[in-house]
Amino acid sequence: MKKDLGSKPYIFPQPVLIIATYNEDGSANAMNAAWGGITGYDELVIDLGSHKTTDNIMRTKAFTISIGDVDHVVQCDYVGLVSGRKVSDKLERAGFSVTPSRFVNAPVINELPLALECTLEKTDGSKIYAKIVNVCADESILDKEGQVDLSLFRPVIYDTSKLGYYSLGERVAAAFSAGKAVK
């Protein structure tokens, strides 16, 4: 029997998104956000609220989204705990370094192996709609065909219910194939 839980943001899994931008002085800033997702092949939406990162996106019209991973979960949590308005060097304190994106006016976090390079398309309240201009991935998470391999990349997901971070598990079936067993 199912139990009613009310209105909750319970879409699982929720990726741990590390949003990186440039501050007014050219230094890099980043925050942890869980409320975001793909809305089209090259489109996404994130709900950020009022943050230094939000101000930077409005000013530069660009940002990157790196996907948090198991090896850097402490650093990813830290950039979500500390405000860029109060701690100007929080990326360095977290142990993150950056390289300028070749495609947008935003930093790419070197230690996180996957980043989406985005431009701002529009806003609606606290929601930011963006176009994915490029995806860059560290070769360590790519298979021999050059595609992201989740057996090599260990992204972290956020549990809205229990307020925890988890790693993804094993592959359980082939997409667009497993359902063919139904007759």
DSSP per residue, 148-174: B-TTT--BEEEETTTTEEEE-----S-
Q: Which residue shows structure tokens 């949590």?
A: 77
CA–CA dist 155, 95 (Å, integer): 18
Question: What is the rounded distance in angstroms from the CA atom of residue 15 to the CA atom of residue 40?
Answer: 17
SS3 state at 23: coil
Residue 91 above 80 pLDDT? Answer: yes
- Sequence spans of domains, the chain: 14-181
pTM, 2 dp? 0.94
The per-residue pLDDT for range 96-124, each reduced to its tens digit, is 999 999 999 999 999 999 999 999 999 99
- 17 pLDDT more than 80: yes
Q: Is the peptide bond preceding residue 13 cis, with omega within 30 degrees of 0?
A: yes
Q: In the beta sheet, which residues pair with residue 30?
A: 20
d(CA 104, CA 100): 8
pLDDT tens digits, residue range 33-75? 988 999 999 999 999 988 999 999 999 999 999 999 999 999 9
pLDDT per position as a tens digit, 126-168 = 899 999 999 999 999 999 999 999 999 999 999 988 999 999 8
Selected from 3.30.230.70, 3.30.450.20, 3.40.190.10, 2.30.110.10, the CATH number assigned to the domain covering 14-181 reads 2.30.110.10
